[in-house]
A = this chain, B = another copy of it.
Amino acid sequence: MGVTIHDVAARAGVSVATASRAMSGQRGVRAENRDKVLAAARELDYEPNVVAASLRSRTTHTIGMVVPRIANPFFATLVESIEKRLHDGQRSLLLANSHYEPEVEQRQVRALLDRRVDALILIPCHRERSGEVLATAAARIPVIQLDLRVDGFASSWVGVDNEAGVWQVVRHLTERGAKRLVFVGAQPTDSAAQARLDGYRRAAGDGDDVLLGDFSKEWGQQAAKLLLQRGDLPDGIVCGNDTIALGVLGELASNDVRVPQDVLVAGFDDIPYAELSRPALTTVRQPQEQIAAEAVRILDARLADDAAAPRSTAITPELIVRAST
């Protein structure tokens, strides 16, 4: 089965080399021959075998991407933005999930390397333990870190300035009159958790109050319970991300604590559901389209010029004030 380039070449009355050149749009083919080849391909319903082309040309037109958790709308939106950019250029996305486990992440990256992806977009799930596999990959193909990053690894990265984002939140809550703040965040195993915690500590100053769990709504609910049990509620809750914040809001509502009257609550990321909660959630917006566009731009530069220097871009995120503060 299957029409090959030989069939097309035969029908067009040229060699396979000419057929190949014509179809890949190279110059150095007489217009007349090019048209004959294209016509033959159409008539025969020719479908090029890109696997064979990849073997010979050593490029797969495929980009690998590993994210911690696709089901997280923040990452899903990022994937969607990347995918949109790539398809402008006829490339495809091989997607994998690390479940926030460095071992799984390592397996996934190796699988992508085995598949000879042209480049890798990695959201490294761990500040330290993702370093090894990142180095392995970076030694072979262009790699860019997205959103999260590995400590002290001098490779390209695109994301937001998390510290600046948290700083804005703290200042906003203070301006709204909050005197006693608490930070409900995640254990600093990934770089965003770390940077947001650092940012909070620096902005809130001494005597800061911090509860650390993970980036889940369940942790948000649990943390709110803890705060309620402690008896004296703070007057401002800075959450490590929107999912936590939504958990906090839910738990507070269940206990008849009014937001923003009794306590102010803010999140981070601006996922689509932040706007839908009641009260709508004040949060820090990550410009995902912009992050994705910049990432693909940097990758293309590396792909075009192997010696291109690593480039990092930290975008300053925007505070979105809604009813919860």
Stretch at the interface among A12-20, A90-98, A148-156, A305-313: A90-98
Interface status of A263 (Cβ within 8 A of chain B)? no
Which of A77, A97, A247 gathers the greatest number of chain B CB atoms within 10 Å?
A97
Stretch at the interface among A28-36, A79-87, A206-214: A79-87
**What 0/1 pattern do residues 241 to 266 of A give for CB contact below 8 A with B?**
00000110110010000000000000
B278→A278 contact, CB < 8 A? yes
Stretch at the interface among A3-11, A44-52, A122-130, A166-174: A44-52
Which of A54, A70, A84 gathers the greatest number of chain B CB atoms within 10 Å?
A70
Which of A55, A96, A116, A273 gathers the greatest number of chain B CB atoms within 10 Å?
A273
B272→A47 contact, CB < 8 A? no
A80→B84 contact, CB < 8 A? no
Interface status of A60 (Cβ within 8 A of chain B)? yes
Scan residues 84-133 of chain A and give those whose CB is less than 8 A from a CB of chain B.
Answer: 84, 87, 90, 92-97, 108, 111-116
Bound state CA distance, A79 and B108, in angstroms?
Answer: 16
- Count contacts on A: residues with CB < 8 A to the other chain: 49
Interface status of A69 (Cβ within 8 A of chain B)? yes
A70→B60 contact, CB < 8 A? no
B276→A113 contact, CB < 8 A? no
Chain B, Cβ-Cβ closest to A78? B71
**What 0/1 pattern do residues 267 to 278 of A give for CB contact below 8 A with B?**
000001101111
Known: A70-B80, A278-B278. 18 other contacts (CB 8 A): A48-B114, A49-B55, A51-B116, A62-B94, A70-B83, A71-B272, A72-B76, A80-B97, A92-B94, A92-B96, A92-B112, A93-B94, A93-B95, A217-B272, A246-B273, A250-B280, A253-B278, A276-B277
